[in-house]
Structure 1
Amino acid sequence: MKIVVLGLSLSSAWGNGHATTWRALLRGMAARGHAVHFLERDMPWYAAHRDLPAPDFCAFDLYDGLDQLDAFAPMVHAADAVIVGSYVPDGVAVAHWVQRQAGGVTAFYDIDTPVTLAKLGRGDHEYLDPDTIAGFDLYLSFTGGPTLTRLEREHGAQRAEALYCAVDAARYRPTGALKRWDLSYLGTYSPDRQPTLDRLLIQVARRMPDRRFAVAGPQYPVEIEWPSNVERIDHLPPEQHADFYSASRYTLNVTRDDMRAAGWSPSVRLFEAGACGTAILSDRWPGIEDVLRPPAEIALVDTTDDVIAAIARDAAPLGAAARRAVLARHTAAHRAAELEALLAELRRPSTGTQPAPNIALTA
């Protein structure tokens, strides 16, 4: 198939989890023989941290504004499928444009589903509104479980299907790095995650001064007081993730409030850490047992004391079980096969018609 994707970012993983998700999925699609063209809005904060300016697994173009999309209208019309991602700048206008121009299947891939639904509930249509939801043939959701029914019954999605994040198993694997940290965390600062990070890592570090910890990710406020045994890494490029996880005896997964409440919302970090054979400690949320089975494949922790007890144990068996589970169920190859099957089922025969007349886009 020929597939066009308009996503938040492919070229820069700085401050967002979308880039690694798109990279894994699209590498998987390329391996299955599909031709993908990714269109990304050129934003200054990503331009300053562009770690993949020329992907080798898909065609790639930047565009400066909505008016430049018209140049891609023939390609969008000829594609077998066009996928719009969440948090695309001017996403509502982009979605309406895609729905006018596309000649094949149209899909929305929501990598932020619980956040999206919370925003819709507040009347916040930053990148999606009720009309565009109903206009897509397929709503691909980062979140599974009851949320899929809600998307169809309450928000008018024609068809909602879970498409969890995944890991590129060729790039995330044990590297043999020496263990530097007893517990690590990788993630951009988020106000709703910070209390959990404080309880499950920072307080642990204060009570275990002889142990070593690390927190990697940008945008943390300068006023946070980090214990001396917590190493801070401001930004960790994706090519260094595998070494980071391999150097960690345990790593911590912390879920945003909206995603914890919805359940069935596994972070890509779970799969990346697991693929590296790193033992995972996670906060608790509905549906986690459908992703990784506790206590054999992942350890759930609620309190500082839970974490202290966990990291005193041998991490190797838990890390090995996590790796086996991820490679069996959660690689990019698995997700690409799932996406291919959904798009093939909905694929329409070519109509031979011309694209709809271009209508000026406005923010």
Structure 2
Amino acid sequence: MNHKTLFEKTYLKNITLQNRIVMAPMTRARTSQPGNIPNDMMATYYKQRATAGLIISEATQISDDSQGYSFTPGVYTDEHVKGWQPITSAAHKEGAAIFCQLWHVGRVSHPIFQKGGLPIAPSALAPVETKVWISDEEGNGKMVDCIQPRAMTQDDIDRVIQDFAYSAKRAIEAGFDGIEIHGGNGYLIDQFLRTNSNHRTDKYGDTRENRIRFLLEVVDAVSKEIGSDKVGVRLAPFITFKDMDCPDIVPTILDASRELQSRNIAYLHLSEADWDDAPVIPENFRIELRKLFSNTIIVAGSYTQERANEILNKGYADLVAFGRPFVSNPDLVSRLKNNYELAALDGNTLFGGNAKGYIDYPVYNTKVLEVEV
């Protein structure tokens, strides 16, 4: 077996990647208002980090009612598309491929994002101890509790599926190489997958086959619009925050993975917990997932270079995504390759604000000493 490293060139369907390093999707909330429009500061941010083989954008709205946090971008209006175009162009000029992560937050929202109405979800169940970030136009934000949503009707489901497809089309117009459907971390698609958030008794609830139906209908609609080779899906079987502890989620995810392979999508992105006492993903799950899904697998979750190379060479993944290290280390690829020290993250500047903690992190200074002769 050939020895794989993070730094070798590879391929994602028909796209050449300059390495196996992925910049993970990270909400940074820096859009221009009104309208949640991507801007020049965001173009600088992504360009600085475009030595990655693949960039997956921050989670991006597919419609007005899909938003759950202030200042997160959209990709469904002409203004959104125009805002994204310099960003995708900047990433491409530096050699990176870039996918747009599309989301609908479902019940993880607030009436302020719903024109005073209720958020929608598979079932009218409020998430326990789950908050969203709401800010005024000056960036003064606070965390507020989510409320009880209303259960989606069939018309709601049909509309959201079409919103995903339409936004995927607009993302390609904006210059993205493809899109990632956010199916994890407690948002709408994940809410359909789990028994504790999905109490439906129609064709979208109860059985595993029914609970994965919404995800697959979204994938099918998006694939019809832009091609399955431009579609990735993010899933998070072992993440339980946002009140998402479902005893049946692992076999449900494995069933979904089999169906996604049959649709020949570009990749499956496994979002793993990244906190200190996070659950360890069992090796038998990784083995079973690889048996079911033979296309590209991306993993993300506090990976070191050593752990990344290990999982690559075991064959459990093909690409490794880095999140927070990319925030404070725009030159992360170079730092990993040269074993340079990583810069610390300023957590106070993660969401909202200006250039501070966003585009002002410096590249590594090699501190070359001049020696007088």
Give the alignment's TM-score, normalised by structure 2: 0.32
Q: Report the TM-score, using the length of structure 1 for normalisation.
A: 0.33
Point out the structure with the larger helix share. 1
